[in-house]
Amino acid sequence: MTAIKTAIDQGTSIVQGLTRSWGSADAVMLYLDRCQVETPDRLVKSLWNRIDRRRAKIDKVVDFGAGDGRLARGGAFRRYVGYEIDPRRSHGVVLPRNVSLLHQCAFSEPLHDADLCVGNPPYVRNQDLPEGWRQRAAEAVLNRTGVKLSGLSNAWQYFFLLSLASAKTDGLVALIIPYEWVSRPSAAALRAYIEKQRWRVEVYRLRDDSFDRVLTTSSITLVDKSIRSGRWSFFEETDSGVYKKLATASGGTAGVVAYTRRKSMSTQLRAKRGLSPGTQGVLTLTEGERARAGLRIGSDVVRCITSLRNIDEDRTVLTISEFNDCYRDVGAKCWLIRTDREPSERLSAYLGDVPPEKYQTATCLSRDEWWKFAMPEIPDLVVATGFRGERPKIAQNLIGAYAVGSVAGIYGADHPRRIIEKIRKMNFSVSVVAHSKGLKKLEINQLNTVLGGLDDDQ
């Protein structure tokens, strides 16, 4: 037990030394905790099956997020070098002699001699990346690829580009990453870089139950630098584990709904994402929470919609009666604190009693007053960005509720009923990329594309 504790303490000391320049201890701990997602054995096997179809002989394998080195157990190669900043991840693990783990930052060495780069890079949101780490990784990626990633890029994009830069000119990159990279605007620079090189790309969309803790649809993505065909192919894993080929990234023949930037729209009709107050846990309240805090409707809190799951798809008008039945009376989060006026003594007391651990988010901590966000506009229509079936739920907002979280707002709608009728006739199930756990997601700028087509005869 003493030996184990000593090893853990030594590992902690090493991590602290390597991450000291990244940012605060809390930010670093949040990042490292969210990196701790192990790759299931069946995915290790599936990844190597895809690799074996491309390479019969492999010399050097590099893994920039090696964890406990489990990806080294599935393939045939002469040597495997894994980078894992936290030695505690592999404590007690017995690895083959041709496998080595380096406990240092993956972005610390400009490698370029890997026959194969493999990995399951961390899926950590851009909001949760330590600023020091982000700056170091972005600089390394820019110097080696010329790609300048935006601040919206999640951690795995940095590792993806690092792998592309580290593989030989005829090397192979095989990663387990979110499937959404094939269409999301935040990954546009990454896709453009690959397209410019004309490398061969194969993307295998995995079943939604591939990971227990990751709420996104994953993929096995292969980029073959030895083939300059510019060809992209997409596949989908079936329940039996077989991959079937897809016509496009979304699976439909028409492809993915295009993304329209708001600034390019010439009309007033537009969609905006729901308010992100910083933490819905305490800045939105249920009816019971509101009543216990003695907060008054109108002066302290206002109506909000954080989800449309409680509303039947056939209900397309949000009334007071429906709000009460589907939100207020069933304990759903339905009240948003009001920040466009000085808080009353009641609201000040409520906010003052919130424990600091309840608002330890990057958004809240970046404010002078952790709770004070800018009140958004009230939308004419509310629409769920996530959906199952053919289309998202949409309803006319007759009660003046604010759109929060995954509920988007549609503004500038002169004829809201016409918009509802037209959207309810559309089938988006084969024109958007799978998001997570059977859920599809219509992104805001995709919704703006749809609205742009409806505006002429609104």
Q: What angle do CA 47, 432, 388 make, to 5 degrees?
A: 95
Q: Distance between CA 94 and CA 103 in Å, rounded?
A: 16
Angle at 438 between CA 208 and CA 315, to 5 degrees: 165
Domains 2-246 and 262-457 share a fold: no
Residue 3 has pLDDT above 50, yes or no: no
Alpha-carbon separation of residue 418 from 25, 414, 415 (angstroms): 52, 9, 6
Closest C-alpha to 189, from 154, 163, 216, 150? 150
The pLDDT > 70 percentage for the chain reads 89
Burial of 212-232, coded b for 16+ CB within 10 Å and e otherwise, reads eebebbbbbbbbbbeeeeeeb
pTM: 0.71
More confident residue, 151 or 60: 60
Structure-block tokens of residue 200: 């061969």
Torsions phi, psi of 378, nearest 5? -95, 125
Instruction: List pLDDT tens digits, range 238-257.
Output: 888 889 999 888 777 667 78
124-159 pLDDT, tens digit each: 888 888 888 889 999 999 999 999 998 889 999 999
Give residue 168's identity as a one-letter amino acid code: K
- pLDDT given at position 11: 52
Residue 209 pLDDT: 59
CATH topology of domain 2-246: Rossmann fold (3.40.50)
What does 144-193 look like in DSSP terms, one character per residue?
HH-----TT--HHHHHHHHHHHHEEEEEEEEEEEEGGGGT-GGGHHHHHH
**Which residue in this structure is represented by tokens 């756990």?**
437
Using only C-alpha atoms, what is the Rg of the chain?
A: 24
CATH pick for 262-457 out of 3.40.30, 3.40.50, 1.25.40, 3.90.220:
3.90.220
Residue identified by tokens 């651990």 is 357
Q: What is the pLDDT of residues 299-312, one digit of tens each?
A: 999 999 999 999 98
20: pLDDT confidence band, cut at 50, 70 and 90?
confident
Does 7 have pLDDT greater than 50? no
Percentage of the chain modeled with pLDDT above 90: 59
Domain ranges in the chain are: 2-246, 262-457
Rounded Cα–Cα distance for residues 121 and 65 (Å): 6
Through-space distance between the first and last CA atoms of the chain, rounded to whole angstroms: 71
Question: Which one, of 305, 302, 295, lies nearest residue 327 by Cα?
Answer: 305
pLDDT tens digit string along 357-394?
A: 999 887 898 899 999 999 999 999 999 988 888 889 99
